[in-house]
Every structure is written in C-alpha cells, then in structure tokens.
C-alpha cells in the first residue's frame, strides 16, 4: 500500500510544477503545451536530477530523496520558505500512531479561563479544546457538539460563521485552508483527518477548489473584522502561541484593534 504522505509529497510537487511558466524560470516556451505549467523533464533538468527519478517522486513512490535533492527541487520550482520547509517535512520518514484528540492540562485550562481577552486552545487537527468566557461570547463554542468544535468546521460550514465574518469570510476561510494544508499532509491517511476532510467537502462548496490548489501558508498573526449580532463590528488583532511543554497545543488570543 502506498504511503499517503508520499502521495501528498508528489501532489505538492505537481501542483507547484503546474503553476510555473517557462518564462518564470528562464526557459523558452517551445512547442505548444497541452497542459499548463512546466513539463516533468524541465523540472528535472532545472533540479539537476534524472527524469525517471523525478517522475517517481511526483508519483509518490517510496523513494527517499536526500536533503540536497529537496533543496534542488525547491530552487527549480521557485518555492518560498514556507513551501520549502513543507517539502522537507513531507520527505521525512515518520512513523505516526493514529491521531488521538488532545487533552488540555488543568494548568493551561486555568490560564485560558483567567484571561480577560478572548482566547482558546486548539490541537493538531484544529479542534477547539478549551476556551474562556470572552471567546464564548463571540464564537459560542459551548453551544456546539464536541465533534463540531473545530475551527475549520465552524468557519467553513456554519452559516453563523459566514454571517460573523461577513465580506471577509472568503479570504479568512481560504487562509485557514492554506494553513491547515501544511498540518494535514503530515497526517495524510489518518482516519480522523480523512473524516474532517469529508465534512469540509460536504459542508463548503468552495473547499474542493481551494484544497486542489495545494497552497501552503505558514502560521502568522493578523487581524479580523467580525460582524457580531449583539456586539456589532469587532476589530480584533490575534496572535498564536505554541505551548512549550505541550507542543501539540496552540493558544490563540484576541485583543481589540483600531479600525484600519
């Protein structure tokens, strides 16, 4: 059976190859192209590797590219720093136990609940595991079933979330998909992640297009404009922090921000 992580490695290579043009990498356009992007042999030449070897990589076969090959592919495909790091991560051989929903230690839960600013903790699958009263006032996590307490399910499939984000919903949802893609690929094939993808596909008509693009984005701070039914327009700045002693957990805190 093929390794789902290797398949995602190949899919990612293909998606980056198909978005490039000969002009972007200094190659002549040549004869008419039946499909968009570079040809496999062109990428292999740019990376200085054999065509057959590159084809095996793109097909997701069980091969182990060296760090030098990964770096050469990153240069050939014009990957940015985040994409390069993602390709490296996918190339590593990692034996993972099946995903298990995380449990927030009592001291971290107390920390979140003590904050005046909206704050919550999420896990590797973006499940919402703990939150405080201020976050509850905005997002209503406590009114959801446990299997619905996931930031992706909430934002992408909930009519309430679409109304909450208003005109900014599409940009916010797509940003989240790009950030989650990096985490998902490392867990490809795990039943919990397969289930999550199925729910996102069925609940969000835009999701399939965004997912197919295989775009990757790193975690970052930012701003959100929410249209709350009771509090009105909320201009918020947010930042995320990884717990040192529990690296699977991420704390997100919101603070009020002045309108742009």
Q: What is the pLDDT of residues 24-34, one digit of tens each?
A: 888 877 666 67
Say whether both 212 and 120 belong to one domain. Answer: yes
Torsion of CA 136, 141, 144, 149, to 10 degrees: 180
- 121 part of a folded domain: yes
pLDDT at position 80: 95
Say whether both 174 and 246 belong to one domain. Answer: yes
- 123 part of a folded domain: yes
Say whether both 118 and 244 belong to one domain. Answer: yes
- Domain holding 84, by residue range, is 4-91
Q: Is the pLDDT of residue 1 over 50?
A: no
- CA 46 from chain centre, in angstroms, equals 28
Q: What is the pLDDT of residues 84-135, one digit of tens each?
A: 999 999 988 677 789 999 999 999 999 999 999 999 999 999 999 999 999 9
Q: What is the pLDDT of residues 146-159, one digit of tens each?
A: 999 999 999 999 99
pLDDT at position 60: 86
Say whether both 136 and 26 belong to one domain. Answer: no
Q: Which of 91, 123, 154 is the last residue of a domain?
A: 91
pTM, entire model = 0.90
Residue closest to 142 by CA, chosen among 177, 173, 113: 113
- 65 part of a folded domain: yes
Q: Which of 91, 120, 152 is the last residue of a domain?
A: 91
Say whether both 122 and 178 belong to one domain. Answer: yes
In total, how many domains does the chain have?
2
CATH code, domain carrying 124? 3.30.450.180
3-state secondary structure of 79: coil
- 101 part of a folded domain: no
């Amino acid at each position: 059976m093929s390794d789902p992580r290797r398949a995602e490695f190949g899919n990612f290579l293909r998606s980056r190859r198909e978005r490039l043009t000969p002009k972007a990498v200094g190659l002549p356009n040549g004869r008419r192209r039946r499909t968009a992007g570079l040809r496999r042999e062109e990428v292999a030449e740019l990376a200085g590797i054999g065509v057959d070897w590159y084809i095996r990589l793109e097909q997701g076969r069980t091969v182990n590219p060296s760090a030098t090959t990964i770096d050469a592919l990153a240069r050939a495909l014009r990957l940015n720093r985040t994409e390069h790091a993602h390709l490296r991560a996918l190339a590593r051989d990692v034996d993972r136990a099946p995903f298990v929903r995380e449990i927030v230690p009592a001291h971290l839960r107390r920390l979140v609940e003590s904050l005046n600013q909206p704050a919550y903790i999420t896990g590797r699958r973006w499940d919402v595991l703990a939150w405080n009263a201020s976050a509850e006032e905005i997002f209503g996590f406590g009114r959801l079933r446990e299997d619905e307490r996931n930031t992706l399910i909430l934002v992408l499939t909930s009519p309430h979330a679409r109304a909450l984000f208003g005109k900014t919903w599409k940009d916010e949802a797509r940003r989240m998909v790009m950030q989650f893609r990096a985490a998902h690929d490392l867990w490809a094939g795990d039943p919990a992640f397969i289930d999550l993808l199925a729910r996102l596909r069925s609940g969000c008509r835009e999701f399939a297009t965004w997912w197919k693009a295989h775009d990757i984005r790193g975690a970052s701070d930012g701003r959100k404009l929410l249209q709350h039914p009771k509090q009105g327009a909320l201009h918020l700045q947010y930042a995320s922090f990884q717990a040192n002693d529990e690296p699977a957990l991420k704390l997100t805190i919101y603070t009020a921000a002045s309108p742009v």
